[in-house]
Structure 1
């Protein structure tokens, strides 16, 4: 697996060449299911899918595209949803990439804004009460997401593709 720090420079050059600096799309695009973890996670799931499902569809006369959309994709809804949730959590908590790509104040994300809020206090020491309130506000979406979907994520990691 490649650590994300090694892909930061090529991703930055790509986003810069595409003219996506200081845009939300530039912040979101590199992490949108294009990570080595996503490839590994889905590969492991697809290796576990029973090949008899595909063989039965071929016997019934289905082509590759129909097998993918009618059989493989519905079976893989849980792992794709799990991957989307894990990607969302990782992106929500990311600090360095949004700091690097979104320099403009209009595209500043919450994690970067918290860091700037901490460093811009005039008294010298941060406003700890305000910072902790803002940190709780930043953590609430992840806490809510985990309480609603945590069991489903854990169950789908061990999902084999056969009922």
Structure 2
């Protein structure tokens, strides 16, 4: 399953990328985020890996992030692997004439095992989650709103 989402953040790209690339900010815009821990390579470098942990409903999900390309401020590409789910994500940050930032997130999901059924039955859930994170990031970046306060 492939899809693309985009959102305009009313801040200059350098401010957006600074907030996006700071792991300490993830808890403010990714609902359910518990922690991120470097597990391989130099943090932030191409080829490095992080362990990410989230609480989703009553379950906890662990996934491995592998950074494929960190060309910020323009692009950040990574894979995210969890039990039954593989996600390739490319994030691009484009400057607008108004000195705002257009964030484009391209996603490709592949499913195995039980998750194949879930991915087939509910593809909209993944798209919805992506745009929710993007909207929450926009609120955090522009207004300082944190999902921790919800």
Coarse TM-score class (shorter-chain normalised): under 0.3
Does 1 or 2 have the higher relative contact order (CA < 8 Å, sep 6+)? 1
In terms of Rg, which structure is larger?
1
TM-score (norm 1): 0.25
Higher strand content, 1 or 2: 2
Higher helix content, 1 or 2: 1
